Amino acid sequence: MTELGQRRRSIIRGGLTLIAAALVYQGLARSGIFASALLPTIPTITHTLLGMLADGTMLKHAGYTLYRVLCGFVLAVTFALPLGIAMARFKRVENFFLPLTSALMPIPSFSLVPLFMLWFGIGNLTTILIVFYAASFPVLFNTWSGVRSVNPLWLRAAGSMGADENKLFWKVIVPGAFPFIITGMRQAFLRCWIAVVGAEMIAASDWGLGWVIFDAKEFLNADVMLASLVVIGFIGFVFERLVFGSIERATVLRWGMVRAAKG
Amino acid sequence: MTEHAATSVGIAAPRAGEAGSERLRLIWRNAFPFIVVAALWEIVARAGVFPQQLFPTLEQIARAFVDLTIAGILPHHTVDTLLRLFAGFGLAAACGITIGMAMGRSRRAEDCLLPLVSILAPIPGLAYTPLFLLWFGPGEVSAILLVGFVSMFPVIYNTWTGVKAVKEIWLRSAQSMGANNRRLFRNVILPGALPYILTGLRLGLGQAWRILVAVEMLAAVPWGLGWLIFGAREFLNTDAMMAGVIVIALIGLALEKFVFQKLEHYTVVRWGMIGRL
């Protein structure tokens, strides 16, 4: 069988599985074994999703969540990126911060939510700080190991060709470490995305995708829950594939630092 | 893979062959930042910028820690959390490795399962919490199932990649030397895929650990460190909360240091699949 035929068969099989899964779900929901409030049918979910999109509530929830994630993420990058570079370049900084980060990293960000709620109250600030905490460590560690893994030969070659410190940093170290930094940001974003949902559930405010899911539980609105799940999954997917994918294409792939994966 | 490399760094290990003074210097170097942070904390706490209730001194935290430990409350919470973690993670490891293996070995399974996995995986695990609570009721069952479900995905992905990464030539040479299917699996595929599987398990355990604390806060379980922290908030017991956070940090550190680094050392490094560090 040719490669193309193989691909087509894969797509058909994948599609069939998805349809089968949807049918099984629909059958279960229709059969009445479970209460329909707990297991809404697919048309109901679609209807709810479209309704919430049409009247703008879903967009507002998503907007709040995105605002919190992006604030926390940008904060984490502006803080952790320079620190990671400094840790890799200066032994003193590394000696001071490495033990601290190793001790703080295994603390899940959620365990700080109650504490932050006491300190900063309920609302945006707590959520943003939790996101910041969750995102900092992947960025920090990957930047640190990225800068350290820059080939010393490149540094010496550039140095002997007369590059000064400034040039060395921008032309050699930063591009060399960039694949790691991108990986770090990707991981950080995934963590942020989990953290924001959790933080919104616990430190409830009035808007946000995490909050709407948790709030829907109180009223047994499983359709609202599933509709929000779809939106959460969709946004996460868009960021992972489109945003980080295109950053990667524009930088490290173009610079020839990594090869594009085949297939 | 980068996360794997990054998390294994930990606190710098002493170099072998040096005298005791070198060791002491190293301990001091690792302890110094903590002393600075502790001193800063103490100064802020004593200065009274924040109410004592919200920002306890180190002494209060230490006392809460000791009191709760002696009363048996903290150990009870810890044991329950650990049991839940291992039950959920055991479930994830068993299902994840099985599904991943099937996906790696059979084209049919891969075609059927991959779309499902890639749709379910990117949704943050916690978002499923209310749904699981509705379906399985609050309590133990929901918590364990949720932890298992969420930490299954890294295991599946890595096992699948690992099985696919086994070199074709190893399989063919083993086959031509007369290995049957079972031996092929045990002696070639399993060792070949093991570095990836271990990475998957490690990521899965990390994820299980992160999610468990939040699940305990939401799922109304009677005991557990997440619940301890969350419950302490109601009574403004910031010292008990900090004690809980400390235990959580210690467990997280111990999981990384004593479970995975050891496991990796005994299997893949010994088989020569990856280089000795």
Answer yes or no: do A114 and B34 touch at CB < 8 A: no
Verify that A24 and A124 share a domain, yes or no.
no
Residue of A nearest to B8 (CA): A102
Question: Are A11 and A62 part of one and the same domain?
Answer: no
pLDDT of res. B242: 85
Give chain A positions within 8 Å (CB) of B37: 100
Residue-level pLDDT at B19 = 67
The pLDDT value given to residue B60: 82
pLDDT at A112 over 60: yes
State the smallest CA–CA distance between residue B220 and chain A in angstroms.
13
Share of chain B above pLDDT 70, in %: 88
A88 and A190: one domain? yes
| Cβ-based contacts of A39 with chain B (< 8 Å) | 135
A263 domain residue, yes or no: no
Q: Can you give the pLDDT at residue B67?
A: 82
Does residue B276 fall inside a structural domain? no
Mean pLDDT of B248-274: 73
- In Å, how far is A171's CA from the nearest CA of chain B? 23
User: CA–CA separation, A170 vs A151, rounded Å?
Assistant: 15
Which residues of chain B make contact with A62, given a CB cutoff of 8 A? none
Tell me the one-letter amino acid at A244: F
Which of B111, B230, B234, B236 to substitute to test the interface with A, most A CBs within 10 Å?
Answer: B111
Q: Which pLDDT belongs to residue B148?
A: 92
Q: Is the pLDDT of residue B95 over 90?
A: yes
Res. A193: pLDDT tops 80: yes
Q: Kindly state the helix (H) or strand (E) to which residue B172 belongs, with its residue range.
A: helix B168-176
For residues B165 and B258, state if they share a domain. Answer: yes
B159 plus B204 within the same structural domain: yes
B127 touches chain A (CB under 8 A): yes
Q: Is residue A203 very low, low, confident or very high in pLDDT (cuts 50, 70, 90)?
A: confident
* Mean pLDDT computed over B169-175: 85
- Using a CB-CB cut-off of 8 Å, the residues of chain B touching A95 are 29, 32-33
CB contact under 8 A, B114 and A228: no
Q: Residue B65: is its pLDDT beyond 50?
A: yes
Higher pLDDT, B256 or A95: A95
pLDDT at A64 over 50: yes
User: What pLDDT, in 10s, does the model give residues B2-55?
Assistant: 344 434 444 444 455 556 788 888 888 888 888 888 888 888 888 877 777 778
Let me know whether A19 and A117 are in one domain. Answer: no
pLDDT at position B6, please? 39
Check whether residue B35 and residue B73 sit in a common domain.
Answer: no
Question: Same domain for B46 and B68?
Answer: no
**Could you tell me if B10 lies within 8 Å of chain A, comparing CB atoms?**
yes
pLDDT band of residue A200 (cuts 50, 70, 90) is confident
Distance of alpha carbon B190 from alpha carbon B159, whole angstroms: 10
Let me know whether A213 and A90 are in one domain.
yes
Task: Count interface pairs A-B at CB distance under 8 A.
Answer: 192
User: Which of A151-165, A230-244, B58-72, B82-96 holds the top average pLDDT?
Assistant: B82-96
Is there a single domain that holds both residue A159 and residue A76? yes
**Are A243 and A195 found together in one domain?**
yes
Q: What's the token pair of residue A110?
A: 């959620």
Looking at chain A, which residue has its C-alpha nearest residue B36? A96
Partner-chain contact B251 A106, CB within 8 Å: yes
Distance, in angstroms, between B105 CA and closest chain A CA?
15
Q: What is the pLDDT of residue A151?
A: 79
At residue B99, does pLDDT exceed 80? yes
Mean pLDDT of A196-203: 83
> A26: domain range?
1-33
Residues B18 and B155 placed together within one structural domain of the fold: no
Best interface-test mutation with B: which of A45, A107, A111, A224 has the largest number of B CBs within 10 A? A111
Minimal Cα–Cα distance from A162 to chain B, Å?
A: 32
How many angstroms away from the CA of A54 is the closest CA of chain B?
A: 23
Contact A154, A176 (CB under 8 A): yes
Which residues of B fall within a CB distance of 8 Å from A209?
A: 127
What DSSP string runs through A110-164?
GGGHHHHHHHH-SSHHHHHHHHHHHHHHHHHHHHHHHHHTS-HHHHHHHHHTT--
The answer on B125 and B11 residing in a single domain is: no
Q: Is the pLDDT of residue B276 over 70?
A: no
Q: Whole domain around residue B39: which residue ranges? A: 1-51
Nearest residue to A40 via CA among A26, A23, A24: A26
| A107 neighbourhood in chain B, CB within 8 Å | 245, 248-249, 252
Q: Which of B34, B125, B233 sits opposite A118 (nearest CB)?
A: B233
Residue B132 shares a structural domain with residue B212: yes
List the structure tokens of A233: 């999954």
Same-domain status, B40 and B85: no
Mutation for testing the A interface, residue in B210, B215, B261 having most A CBs under 10 Å: B210
Q: What is the CATH number of the domain that holds B214?
A: 1.10.3720.10
Tokens standing for B108?
């049919």
The number of distinct structural domains making up chain B is 2
CATH number at residue A202: 1.10.3720.10
- The total of structural domains in chain A comes to 2
Q: Does residue A221 belong to any structural domain of this protein?
A: yes
The answer, for B277 touching chain A at a CB cutoff of 8 Å, is: no
Evaluate if residue B275 carries a pLDDT over 60: no
The predicted pLDDT at position B96 comes to 92
Residues B9 and B146 both lie in one domain: no
User: Are residues A79 and A1 part of one domain?
Assistant: no
Q: Do A214 and A143 share a structural domain?
A: yes
For A218-239, the pLDDT digits (tens) are: 777 788 888 888 888 888 878 8
Residue A262 banded pLDDT, cuts 50, 70, 90: very low
Is B189 found in the same domain as B76? Answer: yes
B32 with A96: Cβ contact below 8 A: yes
- CA A246 – CA A257 distance, rounded (Å): 15
> How high is the pLDDT of residue B87?
92
Cβ contacts of A237 on chain B, cutoff 8 Å:
122
User: What pLDDT sits at residue A261?
Assistant: 46
Would you say residue A53 lies in a domain?
yes
Residue A91 lies in a domain: yes
Residues B29 and B99 placed together within one structural domain of the fold: no
Q: Is the pLDDT score of A249 beyond 80? A: no
pLDDT digits (tens, 9 = 90+) for B133-143: 888 888 888 88
Average pLDDT over residues B156-180: 85
The pLDDT, as a whole number, for residue A77 is 92
The verdict on B135 and B177 lying in the same domain is: yes
pLDDT in tens, A173-188: 888 888 888 888 888 8
Higher per-residue pLDDT: B70 or A254: B70
- B213 interfacial to chain A (CB closer than 8 Å): yes
Instruction: Give the minimum alpha-carbon distance from B276 to chain A in angstroms, rounded to a whole number.
Output: 18
Q: What is the pLDDT of residue B201?
A: 87
Q: Are residues A28 and A47 in the same domain?
A: no
User: Is there a contact between A138 and B3 if contact means CB atoms under 8 Å apart?
Assistant: yes
Question: Residue A210 and residue B248: Cβ atoms within 8 Å?
Answer: no
Residue A144: both structure tokens together: 């640190």
Mutate to test the interface with A, among B8, B131, B227 (most CBs of A within 10 A): B131
pLDDT of residue B269 exceeding 70, the answer is: no
Q: Is B13 on the interface with A (CB under 8 A)?
A: no
Q: Using the 8-state DSSP alphabet, how is residue B11 labeled?
A: S
B11: left (phi over 0), alpha (psi -120 to 50) or beta: beta
| ipTM metric | 0.73
The answer to whether position B199 is within a domain reads yes
Q: Report yes or no: B56 at the A interface, CB cutoff 8 Å.
A: no
On whether residue B274 sits in a domain, the answer given is: no
Task: Confirm if A163 and A225 have CB atoms less than 8 A apart.
Answer: no
- Please tell me the distance in Å from B219's CA to the nearest CA on chain A: 11
- Is B43 among the domain residues? yes
pLDDT at A244 over 80: no
**What is the model's pLDDT at position B255?**
82
Residue B30: inside a domain:
yes
Same domain, A5 and A109: no
Examine residue B77 and state whether it is found in any structural domain, yes or no.
yes
Looking at the complex, report in whole angstroms how far the Cα of residue B272 sits from the nearest Cα belonging to chain A: 23
- N- to C-terminal Cα separation, chain B: 15
| pLDDT reported for residue B277 | 41
Same domain, A49 and A177: yes
